[in-house]
Amino acid sequence: MAADAAPRAKPTLAERVAEQLRRLIDRGEFPRDCRLPTEFALCRRFGVSRPVVRAALAILREGGYVRSLKGSGTVVLKGPEPGGLAFPLVRTIGDIEQYYEFRAALEAETASLAAARHTPASLGAIAAALAEAEEMARLGATELSGDINFRFHRAIARATENAFHVAAIDALPNLIGLGPLEVRHAGHTDPGARNQVILDEHRAILEAIRRREAERAAAEMRAHILAARRFVFHRHPARLAAAPISATGREQPGAIREQTP
């Protein structure tokens, strides 16, 4: 009998940052031929050290996503696949409202279908995404939690066995702040506390899906999305940024990003 294959090593911080940057590039949020934000700005965004950012950029260079130009920073070489689904960037307060309105409707149905159709493998993928987010919370890597939490939503979409749900969820922007918008922490000094609320809501969604309770799964997901909307509007005063990201993709000083579920 053949020996069991060795378990896959957990991604390094550099690999996690590279994955998030790849997704942003694939969605067109860092367009082809634009310059990525500076290493310092990327360190602030992802809450990691400069060596981690440099290792992540090396991974992207090896994959043909970017190249480094002396004196010009790092330039994006790829863009979204032709004909791929592309949502608008979140740039204004009105965009945020529409973003959550759309997600509440779409993802409630996605959760309902996942509850009805999940297989042991797809349920395991949802649970694994939640476990990874919990691990990152224990490590205190709050800035990296946004995309990892969103992986939970993508795993639920795959459990629907409906390619249209998968494409829609995968293409959704999952970070606020890529346009000229700031969402400031108003007295909420512990981002980790907000992340724990998100994880609790994800656990409730997973349990409903696991039990094949489609109506409950839909209700839990809708409540989760609407709670995120309330958090942004009620806890965080939002305003247009004085110094937005430029058309070339270079981040201006002072931008603050808010994680979404």
pLDDT band at 30 (very low <50, low <70, confident <90, very high): confident
Question: Can you give the pLDDT at residue 84?
Answer: 61
Question: Can you give the pLDDT at residue 149?
Answer: 85
Among the residue ranges 164-168, 218-222, 245-249, the one predicted with the least confidence is: 245-249
Question: Can you give the pLDDT at residue 257?
Answer: 41
The domain 13-76 is classified under which CATH number: 3.40.80.10, 1.10.10.10, 1.10.260.40, 1.10.3720.10?
A: 1.10.10.10
- Arithmetic mean of pLDDT, 233-241: 53
Per-residue buried b or exposed e for 229-247, using 16+ beta carbons within 10 Å of the residue's own CB: bebbeeebebeebeebbee
Question: Can you give the pLDDT at residue 85?
Answer: 63
pLDDT band at 8 (very low <50, low <70, confident <90, very high): low
pLDDT > 90? residue 5: no
So what CATH class is 93-243? mainly alpha
Closest CA to 197 of 173, 219, 171, 230: 230
Dmax over CA atoms of the chain, in Å, equals 65
pLDDT > 90? residue 234: no
Domain residue ranges in the chain: 13-76, 93-243
Per-residue buried b or exposed e for 105-141, using 16+ beta carbons within 10 Å of the residue's own CB: ebbbbbbbbbbeebeeebbebbbebbebbbebbeeeb
